[in-house]
Amino acid sequence: MRDTIDPDFASYVDARQVRWLRTTYLVYGDLERAQQVLLHAFARLSMRWPRVDDPDEFVQRLLYQPALKPWNRAKAFLDTENQVQRVLGELTPVQRTVFVLLHVEELTEFEVADLLGLSQPAVHAHGMAAFGLFRTALGDGDRRDAP
């Protein structure tokens, strides 16, 4: 076991942990679960740090792919007053993950597809469905009907 932490690894974690905790929280809808997933991802990365070519991709796969698994389908954002969180909680886990990665992380559909192991058309469909539910739930309606 190592006695010291690689300063490059510590710097990497410091630079990314707040952003990824926020995003992971939005994907899972539970702060405790998001903290556990992020800690697990950083622990796995620390064991492979010298050998990982793209640490961002490595961590993101560990953060977001489990959200799509059937055993990880706990209801998100229970007992929230926040309307955005309530709508996120109504999305399927796949829709929520795709929506957050597209609109919070600002990844492209192709990047999300590669990260989650989905096809680009599947990512597009989930993203559009989630966006449509958001527009409806937040009262934006259909802008095509507006003058």
pLDDT attached to residue 147? 44
Q: What is the pLDDT of residue 79?
A: 81
Q: What is the pLDDT of residue 70?
A: 78
Residue owning tokens 């590669």: 114
At 28 the pLDDT is 93
How far apart CA 53 and CA 72 sit, in angstroms, is 28
pTM of the entire predicted model: 0.86
> Residue 118's pLDDT is what?
96
pLDDT mean for each 10 residues of the chain (147 residues): 77 95 94 95 94 95 90 79 91 94 96 96 97 87 49
pLDDT of amino acid 140:
61
